[in-house]
Every structure is written in structure tokens, then in C-alpha cells.
Amino acid sequence: MTNSTTSKPAAKNWNKPGYIIFAALGIFYAIKQDFANACVFWNIAVVFDPFEHSKPLRNRPLYQRVWLVVHVMVGFTLFLLLVAGR
């Protein structure tokens, strides 16, 4: 007797393309000095974690942790520029 198993096709991971698109739009609007849109797009990009999101932040390599912390700090700076009215 043979058991046949069917496998589901793997779901497409949209994290990396989403991260790249939103980060690029954030940079574009920051260059245009539209800090409202830059802040929104840049900070939404963090939601699309470009690395392996199943690992907790503590268990990731140092470069990934630094990258994400710097990304959040840039987003915070954009927010401060927006609030300061520049």
C-alpha cells in the first residue's frame, strides 16, 4: 500500500520586496524634503522584516540587530524633523 502525500506550494515571502519598496520610498521623500511621507514610508518598512523573521531579535547575528536598530533610529529622526517643522 502506498501513501501519497501532497505538499502545498510554498507561500511567496513578500518581506524583502516590501522592505525595499517602502525604504526606497522613504529615502525618495526624504530627499524631496517631504518628511511626512518619508517618516511614514520609512517606518512602515520596518514592519517588513527583511531578515528571517521567525528568529527573535536576541538570537540574530549582530549585523541584523544593528541594521534594524539604525533603521528605527533614522525613522525616529525623521519623525523629529517632521515635528520640528523642517
Residue 6 lies in a domain: no
Q: How does pLDDT run across 36-81, given as a tens digit for each residue?
A: 999 999 999 999 988 887 888 889 999 999 999 999 999 998 888 8
The one-letter amino acid code at 14 reads: W
Q: Give the count of domains, the chain.
A: 1
Q: How does pLDDT run across 10-23, given as a tens digit for each residue?
A: 667 788 999 999 99
What pLDDT was estimated at residue 1? 61
Question: Within 10 Å of residue 20's Cβ, how many Cβ atoms?
Answer: 13
Q: Is 60 left (phi over 0), alpha (psi -120 to 50) or beta?
A: beta
What pLDDT was estimated at residue 26? 93
Grid coordinates in use for 34?
517631504
What pLDDT was estimated at residue 66? 94
Residue 56 lies in a domain: yes
For 66, half-sphere exposure in the C-beta direction (CA atoms, 13 angstrom radius) is 3
